[in-house]
Amino acid sequence: MFKAIIYKEWIKIRLVVYASLVLGLLALINIFLNVRHDILFVDAANYWYAFLFRGVIYFGILKFLPFIMGGGIAIAQYFPETVSKRIKLTFHLPYRENTLLIRMHAFGAGMLAAIYAVIILLFIGGSAIFFPSGIIIDSLLTLAPWFLGGLATYFLVALILMEPMWLYRAFYAIVSAGFVTLFYKIDSIGGYKHLLAFLALLTLLLSCVVLFSGYRFRKGEM
Amino acid sequence: MYAIECKNLTHYYGSKLIYQNLSFNVEEGKILGLLGKNGTGKSTTINILNGFLQPTQGECLIYGENTQNISPATKRRIGFLIEGHIQYSFMNIHQIEKFYSGFYPNWNNKPYWELLSKLKVTPTQKLSTMSCGQRSQVALGLILAQDPDLLILDDFSMGLDPGYRRLFIDYLREYAKAENKTIFTTSHIIQDMERLIDDVLIMDYGKILAQQPIDTFMNRFKQFNIKLTYPDQEILADRIAVNIEKVKDKIEFYTYATEEEVKGFLNSQGIVYESFEEKKMSLEDAFIGLTRKY
């Protein structure tokens, strides 16, 4: 039965998964072509200096990509369930409703995390060609809140889409905008270093909120 | 043995009462049609039965389990058709069959492909590109392949042309009777119900007007057409008159009483008439006679 759930979820999100991977790959190609060009014409020492002491981020193009991917996968996965209240079909399957929703959600979040992992690994591999490990670690600390923000976006968009009442949806959207902004506010290198554990905990807590919308739907809030 | 038992259901939307203390049962192996005008609570009842709505008071049981908390094992015994034949339209006919087959151990895809072979669709055609009639056959085929003991069908005739409606009903009735299945169904097109159901449950605003086998209902409930000699004469409603519709000198008199009882009643009120005849009713006529034209 779990295989069947994954089968349906994959049909819904596969195009967005492919598009996200292509987008991520293009962004990485763009980043490392620029880095190569700048190092050739400026020289590596100055380039590293600009990063370490002037806070010039060479991978700024990646900032909102996780956010777009998170929102995209949530929409691809949950919007078809809400059209004509198709979620009724899903809740009617011979499965505990919460277990079903958790598995759907885990699959979506897992696919998103896998896309992020591919992008981060390629980023580390590309960076290793041009930069010492200290710069790579600082870069990863800068990227981390953006990717956590992408996961939080996935969880919150799912909550909004699964909510049966428009008034609540609007309320959730406003609160969610505030939450997600938290992940993208500081622009300096490693600026979130001391907040990462808090943001990770916040993202973890948000992972379950979709169950509340599912519960409200099942109790007949329409 | 009952497949469905609903006891003392009361439901409000905000302060609006939909019905109060509604109770009914559906026997195993029977096809029950729920009829009612818009807003009488048909969809509310379907939603309560499927666990998508918590009644304000009372409860419904399906195979002895409260519908608010049905176990996966019991859900496996229930086939559910959503109003408008809603299905996962982002899938094609192969994908959707493969998806559902993973949930039901007794899955039998023969009736599914048999029904779909009558349609002019390709195996990779997405449901979203099909007509409503074609989608209805997909939805029905999936339910038949699931092989449930109880089928809950919410307004199965919605959006279907007469050919598809007839195909749907004939296939469904033959299947239900051959396999001893229980069906709980609603439909806006009452003439369809006549071909399908064993028992009828007619709801009005807040109450049940009739619940009985359809043959008994159609034999007992009668329409008499009366032409008055003096059009100004008014007939006072009495307990034997369920509904009286008067247009000038013509009266439609709906009742559970016999012809003699009605004539005796008219005589007792001094009503003089030129003609008096019983009219053979269809289920739709009887429904309108019972619930009034509005």
Q: In this predicted model, what pLDDT tens digit does every residue of B239-288 receive, in sequence order?
A: 788 888 888 888 888 999 988 888 888 888 888 888 889 998 989 889 88
Decide: A199 and A192 in contact? Cβ < 8 Å.
yes
Nearest CA in chain A to B139: A89
* More confidently predicted of A51 and B82: B82
Tokens of A122: 């390629």
Cβ pair B84:A84 closer than 8 A: yes
CA distance B103 to A103: 15
Provide the Cα torsion A39, A45, A47, A48; round to 10°.
130
Nearest CA to B128 out of B162, B152, B104, B93 is that of B93
| pLDDT of A51 strictly over 90 | no
Lowest model confidence (mean pLDDT) among A90-94, A151-155, B156-160, B202-206: B156-160
Coil, strand or helix: which one is B150? strand
- The torsion of the CA quartet A103, A104, A105, A110, rounded to 10 degrees, works out to 80
3-state SS class at B152: strand
The reply to whether residue A220 touches residue B52, judged by beta carbons under 8 angstroms, is yes
The partner residue sitting opposite A89, judged by closest CB among B54, B72, B88, is B88
CA distance B128 to A36: 48
Contacts of B95 in chain A (CB under 8 A): 7, 11
Residue A11 near chain B (CB below 8 Å): yes
Contact B214, B241 (CB under 8 A): no
Q: Taking CB atoms and an 8 Å limit, are B76 and A89 in contact across chains?
A: no
For B268, residues 6+ apart whose C-beta sits below 8 A from its C-beta are none
Beta-carbon contacts of B182 under 8 Å, excluding residues fewer than 6 positions away, are B3, B4, B26, B27, B28, B29, B30, B31, B149, B150, B151, B176
CB contacts of A96 in chain B (<8 Å) are 72
pLDDT at A219 over 90: no
Between CA B34 and CA B25 the distance in angstroms is 12
Overall pTM surpassing 0.90 (yes/no): no
Q: How far is B54 from chain A (nearest CA, A)?
A: 5
Strand B273-279 to B222-228 pairing? antiparallel
Query: What value does the mean pLDDT of chain B take?
Result: 87
Nearest-angstrom CA–CA distance, B287 and B293: 9
Q: Which residues, in sequence order, are bridge partners of residue A149?
A: none
Mean pLDDT across A186-204: 85
Task: Report domain B221-291's class.
Answer: alpha beta
In whole angstroms, give the CA distance from residue B41 to residue B20: 11
Question: Nearest chain B Cα to A8, which residue?
Answer: B99
CA angle centred on B11, ends B10 and B13, rounded to 5°: 160
Token reading at B269: 């009120």
Helix axes A196-206, A133-162, angle to 10 degrees: 30
Residues 6+ apart with CB under 8 A from B174: none
Tell the residue number behind the tokens 């916040």, with chain if given.
Answer: A202
Residue to mutate among A3, A6, A8, A79, with most B CBs inside 10 A, is A8
Looking at beta carbons, which residues of chain B come within 8 Å of A95? 72, 75, 103
Q: Say if A185 is an interface residue toward chain B (CB within 8 Å).
A: no
Strand duo B31-36 + B182-186: pairing: parallel
Q: What is the mean pLDDT of residues A145-174?
A: 94
Q: Does A194 reach chain B within 8 Å, measured CB to CB? A: no
Q: How far, in Å, CA of B193 to CA of B31, rounded?
A: 10
DSSP letter string over A63-104? Answer: TTHHHHHHHHHHHHHHHHHHGGGTHHHHHHSSS-HHHHHHHH
Is B50 in Cβ contact with A92 (below 8 Å)? yes
SS3 label, residue B135: helix
Query: Phi/psi of residue B180, each to 5°?
Result: 55, 50
Distance from CA of B150 to the nearest CA of A (A): 13
The answer to whether the Cβ–Cβ distance between B75 and A1 falls below 8 Å is no
CA distance B76 to chain A (A): 5
Instruction: Taking each helix axis as running N to C, give the angle between helix A97-130 and helix A210-218, from 0 to 180 degrees, rounded to the nearest 10.
Output: 160
Q: How confident is the model at residue B183 (pLDDT cuts 50, 70, 90)?
A: very high
Q: A80 vs B88: CB contact, 8 Å cut-off?
A: yes
What 3-state class would DSSP assign to B276? strand
CATH architecture of B2-213: 3-Layer(aba) Sandwich (3.40)
Cβ contact B173:B165 at 8 Å: no
CA distance B49 to B94: 30
A66 in Cβ contact with A116 (< 8 Å) = yes
Q: Which of B18, B83, B88, B147 to mutate against chain A (most A CBs within 10 Å)?
A: B88
Residues of chain B with CATH 3.30.70.1560: 221-291
Phi, psi of B231 (to 5 degrees): -60, -20
Chain A residue nearest residue B105, CA to CA: A1
Which of B18, B47, B103 should one mutate to test binding to chain A, selecting the residue with the greatest count of A CBs within 10 A? B103
Least CB–CB distance from A11: residue in B51, B52, B95: B95
- Confidence at residue A221, expressed as pLDDT on a 0 to 100 scale: 66
* C-alpha distance across the termini of chain A, in Å: 29
Give the separation between CA B37 and CA B40, rounded to whole angstroms.
Answer: 6
Q: Does A15 touch chain B (CB under 8 A)?
A: no
- CATH 3.40.50.300 boundaries in chain B: 2-213
CA–CA separation, A181 and A178 (whole Å)? 5
| ipTM entry | 0.84
Q: Which residue of B has its CA nearest to A81?
A: B88
| Residue A147 predicted with pLDDT over 90 | yes
Residue B57 near residue B129 (C-beta atoms within 8 A): no
Please state the rounded mean pLDDT for residues A19-40. Answer: 92
pLDDT > 70? residue B293: no
- Give one DSSP letter per residue of A7-57, joined into a string: HHHHHHHHHHHHHHHHHHHHHHHHHHHHHHHHHHHH-HHHHHHHHHHH---
The answer to whether B223 and B231 have CB atoms below 8 angstroms apart is no
Please name the residue that has the structure tokens 């509005």. Answer: B294
Query: Which one of A10, A93, A99 makes the best mutation probe of the B interface by having the most chain B beta carbons within 10 Å?
Result: A93
Of the candidates A84, A94, A217, which has its C-beta nearest B86's C-beta?
A84
Q: Quickly state the pLDDT bin for A11 (edges 50, 70, 90).
A: very high
